Structures are given as structure tokens and as C-alpha cells.
């Protein structure tokens, strides 16, 4: 964990933003996979980590703003527990490490909240069902209103605070990107025709764990890059195909990396692959180089979409006026997702608090247009934000068939040419970028990205 | 999945056991890690897999015994979903693969159950909170009684059926053990002083994923083997220490392996390590060799405990009459867990249905004695059972201190001698065994286990 001064300071900022009442933070619990006792790896809630740093199950915390104190609720371990799980410092010792001076047994939480029932109790929206049940029980609210009664004030204050990364957070995120970069480099070095996707997925998952952390999100490692969140790893790599790898390490302190690279199964890209690859690369690099504080990220999304439309026109896949095609959303056929999102303790940072609180604001509302509506971050960038830039071009047979039958955007899309790309799959390129006062900084050591750099690695196979 | 005949036959056997009413099976759903959409790897419920084979979220199934039919409830994918998750067969096509001829949209499940409200609706106890909420909503039962109203009849019928493994299940479990064996062999080959536990944990996790499956349970890879379920991997391996590795692969069809080996960080065991190691090995091998149908597994637990007590007496760690020490439970200081458990689709097979239904019966009740009370399987073994044999000897400083202060079993335990082993850590050895008509068979290719075999592997480092 970080030093206790950091947690004290974080809580102090949050307390000043909310003024009064109680702020309730439920830590995460162990989660059964196929049985209550056979658990998934434990992942603490990110806001709990941010304000209270303690990385273990069965804890809750309250910031009592009226009393000017924080309390951690948790139970001491029995010797029997130590036999199974090992000795640990007492709850009071752990709380002291993050600057919290008062602790109480977990069961006292309910009484504490009941005594405070006349005061506002702010809590975050639950994303695990056991928290829904717990909030229902603790606060006496019906199950179906628990989520709706989450505190918008608390959400907004946390989003504002967590969006701006501090120096120690940025250092941790560089670590995450550097481990992730090594994972990508090894995958590019070891992939070869005849190998299963699962072998490469295992390689990079093992590296994330070996680094002392974990995966930040489920590995995408696929020869079918046109499926955006493809977690099937049963295919065998074949000559002529490309591998799209989208994965990231999470450090021991739970900061995420999120990097995508696409490379050929052969030592070199085909000429058709190279054309599309260089177009995606141009969209990524040009957008990164344009980043600076106060710009709308939605404008960057549109910039990348325009680059893609223009490039595809050169290749004969689109036609007509590309400004009009952009406005109409015709690029959604090739680029159906958003340009990027904030990243930090979560790979999609803070999205458990509500995607629109994180990426939108009053006046910058979510579009209903296919493609643009999937943009997770649209509002102004600020110094200290860390975000992904991840344009892609995909040829999705089912989507092409549907749009073609409907005649959608037939004035902008050359369906006859697009038909010939149905076997192409997809390409995405992604880096993690810090917004600085003067512009931007790409986090981590450079990870091979140009056709030349990627092919140089592939030549080593 | 297996052939549809297998699923038809399994459901037919279950239907005959229950006679009438409805059997409700909720498939598992995606489970958010730090956000609803950033999910843990999907794991289908094992009983759903056993009877319905379909390995994806958002499904439920009903066996309507009165109508003599099974129905799978699930929703077709939209094109938008295909863009993100890839194309799949229709629900009806998938259901047909497992012999189910009727499908309905998921939302129809509630109405189907309401129409059947006058008939018994059997369901299994939930182990995930979202199933508790779902059952509460579907069946109109208060949250706090949902678990208690689970069907004992259904549980018992399923335990009886799933306990006896078929030929195709055994073949799958051999695969799991063979992948697991390779994981252990690689760990033994690559471990060396200066390495972090996490590096070895990453190595074996990567191999499980690379095999096309996953881990069956969280990896234990520790120089502190005295902590039974130690998932901390932050220590650096040091000369003189031992590494206890307890982990297993789960195959693509979700059958588990569960193997433990303990090996020295150096190329050879110390003489003190060798003494304890050979004692654990004798307990393991002698118990395995005694296995046959109809014996109480509790008797095997006691047999291993007696071997451990006798051996420790030779080493001067115990004293007095070892039959009395066994009866009194004095071995719990060194061997505080059970000898083993059933294994199959779950590493602790079927324990989500209730540990006592799986491992005990009327007349064979769970002991209250420390150590023996942790035995998960006590009842008679039957041909076709697959189980683990996993004795261990541990020196747990906190437990030694507590028992010594209390003077517990001081007539049997030589605390002065035990004190000197407080830095020893622990040793466990575990294999997976099939009960055959004539005795037993160890599943999978042999995995180095004797001192000589282990040291031969360590010599390769």
C-alpha cells in the first residue's frame, strides 16, 4: 500500500467535497466460483482501495463527516483461521497503516448506521449481488431500490478525485504498462502457425501472475479480432491470419495496464493487412499526438473515425463525401466501438460508479448513433487523466450482411469491395496515455508498434 | 461437451430418482470483479454442466417430471451482441446438442414456475448471491429462507449420481491430472533460490490456461506450507526452505485435478526434511494401497493419523501411547485437516450442495474433534468414486504456542522437541485416486514423489 499520509489526504479531500453525513464503503468479499469455498482470486473494491488501502475481504469503512473520523469495521482472526490462512496484523494495526485510528467488529456496522439513520448515508452503487443484499439489510431498503439510492454526490466527488492521477499512481501505472509490454513482446516472439490461441493466452496470463500482480481483465488473444471481446481461445493459428492481443497486467497495488497489438502469424503482414494496419496506426498515432488538456475526447473519437473513413476511401471501401459519412456515423461498420476510456485502479476506471458519470457531463450527452454510442469517454480531458487510445478496423461478417441487406449508408460504403474483406478479421492498436499540462505522455517503455518493429520481432520466431 | 446420449441418460436417472415435480437448475451468470462488466472468467455451475452440458451464462433449465420433458430457458443474441461476443448457434440448436427439445426465452421461466406453483419445485442451494436474489424473485420466498428450502431429495439424488464417475468422466479426469503433473514437474525443474513464489505460481497458472482449460482452484505455491490455504506469493525462495505446491488444472470440460507436491529449494532435502517427508509419504502411500470399495474413508484418515503419530514418536516429537493419542485427537497439532475429499467437476466435488451430504450419512456423523472435524469425506467408498489422498505434517507456530500454553495433550506431545520445529513449515503430498471394483487406481501418469525422484528433478535446475 501507499503511505498513510496519502490515504489521509485522499479522505480529507473527499470529506471536504461532501461536507456532512456518513460515507459508507463496503469492501469486497470472497466470491465463490463453483462453490462458496472455491473462490475466484480476491479483488478488493477499487474505491475502498483508493481511500482505505486494505487489500483483504470482510471489511467495511465509514467516514463520519459530522464526527470528523473514519472507522474500519472488521473482525480479528481466530487461531483456527490462522491455521488455514496464515497470521496477519490485527485490524487496528492494519487500520493504523492507512491512518485510520478507530476500528470496530464488523457486526457493529449495522448499529452504527442505525444510530446515524437521521443523517444522510452516502454509498456507492453495488456491482456484486452480495453487496445489494448487504445494503438492503444494513439500510432497510428494498432490494430493487438499493442501486437507485446510491449517492450521486458521492459518485461525482469520487470521479472528480480519482480521475486525476497522482505521481505515485502514475509510477504504478507505468509498472503495469511495462509488464504488459513484456507480455506482448513475448507473445509476438513465440506465436507460430499450429499453436493454439490458448497457449499464447496462458503465456501472457502466467507472466502477469509471475510479476506479482494479476490480469487487469480477461485476455483477448484471437485470430478472430473482428469479435471485439472474444474470450474463446480454442483456435489454431494459421499462416495468413493475424493475432489480435488485448490484455493488461494489474500490479500488486491493483493499477491496470491495457494494451492491444495485432501481428501476423507469418513473419510479415500481407500487403492487404499492411494497408489496414497502417491506417489503424495512423488513427492511433495522430490522435495521441493531438492530445492535450481541455479538449473533448469525443472530438478525438471523431478525428480517428475520419482518418479511418478517408483511408478506407483510398482503398476503395468507402465512397462519397467523408465529412457527411462521419456525421452520419457510417464508420460504425468498421469501427463500432469507442476510441478509449479512463484507466487507473480499474481497466475501465470507475465505471462501476456509472459510465456516464465518468465519461460524460451535462451538455456532453451520450450519442444514440451505433458506434459513437459505445464511446466511454466523451468529455474534456484534464491534466492527470490517464486514458486509452485504441482505434480499430474490423470486418464483421454478420454486421456487413445486416447493413448491406438494409442498404444502410450505401451512399458511403462500397459493399461490393467490403464483401471481399469478410475473411479479414480485425486490427486494433492501443496505448495508455497520461494527459500532461503541455500535452501527453505515452506510459511505459515503447512496445513495438510500426509494421517494421512488429515484423522485426516476428523475424525472431 | 459429451454426446447428447450421455446427458439424456443422466437426466433420465435423475428423473427416476425424484419421480415427480419440477427440478429447477439455474445456470451461472457472469460475475463482476471490480465492475459489473469486468468479469471473472466464466464458470458454469457444475450440476448444470452435468445434466445440461451448456457452458455459457444466462441460461436456466427445468426438468418437468410430470410432463416428462426438459426445457432450456435462454435468449438469442442480437447482432449487436455478436459484434462484441461472436456468433453462436441458436439456443434451440445448442439445446438439441444435449438432447433438450424445448427452449423458451429466459423471461418465460418465471411464468412457467408460477403455473407449476402447486407442484413441488426442487432446487439446489445457491452459493452465489445473485442466485439467492433470483430464487427469491422467481419463487416468492424471503431471502433468508431461500437456502433452507433447497431440496434435500434433489441434493441426495445428485450426490448419489455424480459420486460415481463414468468412463468418459474418468478419462477427462486423467487429462486434468496429466496437465497438473506437468505443471508440478515444471515447477520442480525451474524453482531456485532468489525466485519469487509468484514466478512459480505464474508458471503453473499459465500452463493450466495454455492446456485449453484453467485452474481448478487458486494456486498454493508457498515456502510457508504450514499455512494450509496460503495464497500469498510475495516471498523469495531461500536455500534451506521447501516449496509446497498445491494446484490443479481444470480441463475444457471442467473436470479437476488436485495434486500436491513439496520439494526443497536446494537440490536435496535436509536430513530433518527428509525424515518428515518420508513419514508423510508413508502415510500417503500406505493409505492409497489400502483403498477399496465399502471401506469407511474415516478409517483411512485415522490410519494416516496413526502412521504420523507413530513416526513422530520415533523422531521424539510425540510420546506415550499412540493409540490413546489417536483416540484423543492429539495428531491435530501436526495434521489439522482431513485426509481427502471427492473430486470431479468440482475440486471439492459437489460441496456446494452441502459438505455433509457428500461426505457423511446417517450413522456417520461429523466429529467435533479439532482436525478430524475438517475431514470432508468419512463415509463408505464405492466403485467409481474419485478422491484425493493428501496427508500432511505441519508445524504451525501459533497453534503450537496456543496448545502448549493450554497444556493440551502434553502427555502425548513433546513440546520441547516440537519448539525446535517451529521454523520447519509443512509438507503435504497428494494424489487423485479412482476406487475400482478390486481396489484403486492412481489417476494419470506418475508424478515424481519419492525423495529420490524429487531430488532427481531438482538436480536438473
Kindly report the pTM of this predicted structure. 0.96
Q: Please give the residue of chain A at the shortest CA–CA distance from B333.
A: A83
Option in A31, A87, A352 nearest B31 (CB): A31
Of the candidates B131, B12, B117, the one whose C-alpha atom is nearest the C-alpha of residue B63 is B12
- A247 touches A204 (CB < 8 A): yes
Q: Give the residue ranges of DSSP H helices in B164-269.
A: 167-190, 197-210
Q: Is A448 helix (H, G, I), strand (E, B) or coil?
A: coil
- B71 touches B96 (CB < 8 A): no
B58: number of Cβ within 10 Å: 13
Residues of A in contact with B136 (CB under 8 A): 143
Q: What number is the ipTM of this complex?
A: 0.95
Residue A1, pLDDT score: 94
If residue B123 lies in a helix (H) or strand (E), which one and from where to where?
strand B121-123
- B343 touches B258 (CB < 8 A): yes
Chain mean pLDDT for chain A: 96
Q: Please give the residue of chain B at the shortest CA–CA distance from A41.
A: B218
Residue B77, pLDDT score: 85
DSSP secondary structure code for residue B176 in this structure? H
In this structure, what are the phi and psi dihedrals at residue B81, rounded to the nearest 5 degrees?
A: -65, -40
pLDDT in tens, A52-64: 999 999 999 999 9
Residue B384, pLDDT score: 98
If residue B273 lies in a helix (H) or strand (E), which one and from where to where?
helix B271-290
First to last CA, chain B: 40
CB contact under 8 A, B34 and A41: no
If residue B427 lies in a helix (H) or strand (E), which one and from where to where?
strand B426-428
Query: Helices B271-290 and B297-314, interaxial angle, to 10°?
Result: 150
pLDDT in tens, A6-29: 999 999 999 999 999 999 999 999
| Domains of chain B, earliest start first | 4-162 (3.40.350.10), 167-458 (3.90.230.10)
pLDDT in tens, A129-178: 999 999 999 999 999 999 999 999 999 999 999 999 999 999 999 999 99
Residue B103, pLDDT score: 98
The shortest C-alpha distance from A314 to chain B (Å) reads 25
Provide DSSP, A207-267: HHHHTTSEESS--EEES-TTSTT-----PBP-TT-EEEEEE-EE-TT--B--EEEEEESSS
CB contact under 8 A, A201 and B209: yes
Residue B167, pLDDT score: 97
If residue B60 lies in a helix (H) or strand (E), which one and from where to where?
strand B60-64
CB contact under 8 A, A198 and B211: yes
E-strand spans in A80-175?
Answer: 102-104, 121-123
Mutate to test the interface with B, among A34, A48, A244, A245 (most CBs of B within 10 A): A34
Residue B434, pLDDT score: 98
Distance CA B22, CA B5 (A): 22
Residue A228, pLDDT score: 82
Residues of B in contact with A252 (CB under 8 A): 234
Mutate to test the interface with B, among A26, A31, A35 (most CBs of B within 10 A): A35
Distance CA A301, CA A323 (A): 14
- Burial class of residue A148 in the structure, from the number of CB atoms within 10 Å of its CB (0-12 exposed, 13-18 middle, 19+ buried): exposed
CB contact under 8 A, B127 and A36: yes
Chains A and B form CB pairs within 8 A to the count of 195
With a pLDDT cut of 90, the percent of chain A lying above it is 95
Q: Please give the residue of chain A at the shortest CA–CA distance from B130.
A: A129
b vs e for A98-132, b when ≥16 Cβ sit within 10 Å of the residue's Cβ?
A: bbbeebbeeeebeebbeebeeebbbbbbbbbbbbb
pLDDT in tens, A384-431: 999 999 999 999 999 999 999 999 999 999 999 999 999 999 999 999
Q: Is B434 helix (H, G, I), strand (E, B) or coil?
A: strand
Q: How far is CA A417 from CA A225, A226, A268, B83, in A?
A: 20, 17, 24, 20
In this structure, what are the phi and psi dihedrals at residue B458, rounded to the nearest 5 degrees?
A: -65, -25
Option in B202, B210, B228 nearest A83 (CB): B228
CB contact under 8 A, B396 and A83: yes
Residues of B in contact with A336 (CB under 8 A): 83
DSSP secondary structure code for residue A42 in this structure? P
Nearest-5° Cα angle at A395, A393 to A398: 140
Distance CA A43, CA B117 (A): 40
If residue A8 lies in a helix (H) or strand (E), which one and from where to where?
helix A4-18
Of the candidates A224, A258, A269, the one whose C-alpha atom is nearest the C-alpha of residue A426 is A224
Mutate to test the interface with A, among B45, B83, B248 (most CBs of A within 10 A): B83
Residue A389, pLDDT score: 98
Residue B296, pLDDT score: 98
Distance CA A290, CA A7 (A): 34
Residues of chain B with pLDDT under 50: none
Distance CA A362, CA B452 (A): 71
Residue A80, pLDDT score: 79
- Which residues partner with B296 through β-bridges? B380
Distance CA B297, CA B343 (A): 14
Maximal CA-CA distance, chain B: 74
Residue B228, pLDDT score: 82
pLDDT in tens, A222-255: 999 998 877 889 999 999 999 999 999 999 999 9
CB contact under 8 A, A202 and B224: no
pLDDT in tens, A75-87: 998 877 888 888 8
CB contact under 8 A, B85 and A230: yes
Amino acid at each position: 500500500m501507499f503511505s498513510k499520509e496519502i490515504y489521509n489526504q485522499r479522505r480529507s479531500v473527499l470529506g471536504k467535497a461532501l461536507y456532512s453525513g456518513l460515507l459508507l464503503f463496503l469492501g469486497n468479499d470472497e466470491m465463490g466460483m463453483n462453490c462458496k469455498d472455491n473462490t475466484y482470486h480476491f479483488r478488493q473494491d477499487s474505491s475502498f482501495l483508493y481511500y482505505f488501502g486494505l487489500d483483504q475481504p470482510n471489511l467495511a469503512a465509514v467516514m463520519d463527516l459530522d464526527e470528523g473520523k473514519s472507522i474500519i469495521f472488521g473482525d480479528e482472526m481466530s487461531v483456527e483461521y490462522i491455521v488455514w490462512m496464515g497470521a496477519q496484523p490485527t485490524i487496528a494495526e492494519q487500520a493504523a497503516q492507512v491512518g485510520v485510528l478507530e476500528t470496530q467488529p464488523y457486526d457493529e456496522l449495522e448499529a452504527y448506521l442505525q444510530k446515524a439513520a437521521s443523517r444522510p448515508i452516502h454509498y456507492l452503487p453495488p456491482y456484486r449481488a452480495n453487496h445489494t443484499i448487504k445494503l438492503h439489510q444494513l439500510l432497510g431498503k428494498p432490494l430493487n431500490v438499493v442501486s437507485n439510492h446510491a449517492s450521486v454526490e458521492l459518485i461525482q466527488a469520487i470521479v472528480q478525485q480519482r480521475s486525476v492521477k497522482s505521481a505515485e499512481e502514475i509510477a504504478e501505472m507505468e509498472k503495469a504498462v511495462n509488464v504488459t509490454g513484456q507480455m506482448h513482446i513475448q507473445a509476438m516472439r513465440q506465436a507460430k502457425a499450429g499453436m493454439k490461441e490458448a497457449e499464447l493466452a496462458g503465456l501472457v496470463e502466467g507472466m502477469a501472475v509471475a510479476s506479482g500482480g494479476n490480469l487487469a481483465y480477461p485476455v483477448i488473444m484471437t485470430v478472430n479480432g473482428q469479435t471485439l471481446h472474444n474470450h474463446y481461445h480454442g483456435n489454431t493459428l494459421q499462416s495468413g491470419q493475424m493475432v489480435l492481443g488485448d490484455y493488461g497486467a494489474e500490479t500488486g497495488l491493483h493499477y491496470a495496464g491495457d494494451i492491444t497489438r495485432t501481428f501476423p502469424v507469418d513473419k510479415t503482414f500481407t500487403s492487404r493487412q499492411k494497408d489496414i494496419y497502417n491506417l489503424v496506426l495512423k488513427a492511433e498515432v495522430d490522435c495521441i499526438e493531438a492530445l492535450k488538456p481541455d479538449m473533448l475526447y469525443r472530438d478525438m473519437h471523431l478525428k480517428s473515425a475520419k482518418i479511418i473513413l478517408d483511408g478506407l476511401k483510398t482503398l476503395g471501401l468507402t465512397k462519397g463525401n467523408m465529412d457527411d459519412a462521419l456525421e452520419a456515423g457510417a464508420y460504425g461498420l468498421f469501427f463500432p466501438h469507442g476510441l478509449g476510456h479512463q484507466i487507473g485502479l480499474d481497466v475501465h476506471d470507475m465505471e462501476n460508479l456509472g459510465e456516464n458519470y465518468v465519461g460524460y457531463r451535462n451538455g456532453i450527452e451520450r450519442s444514440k448513433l451505433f458506434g459513437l454510442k459505445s464511446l466511454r469517454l466523451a468529455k474534456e480531458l484534464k491534466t492527470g487523466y490517464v486514458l486509452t487510445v485504441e482505434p480499430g478496423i474490423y470486418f464483421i461478417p454478420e454486421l456487413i450482411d445486416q447493413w448491406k441487406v438494409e442498404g444502410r449508408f450505401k451512399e458511403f460504403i462500397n459493399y461490393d469491395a467490403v464483401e471481399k474483406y469478410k475473411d479479414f478479421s480485425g486490427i486494433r492498436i492501443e496505448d495508455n496515455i497520461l494527459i500532461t499540462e503541455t500535452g501527453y505522455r505515452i506510459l511505459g517503455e515503447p512496445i513495438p508498434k510500426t509494421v517494421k518493429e512488429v515484423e522485426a520481432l516476428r523475424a525472431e520466431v
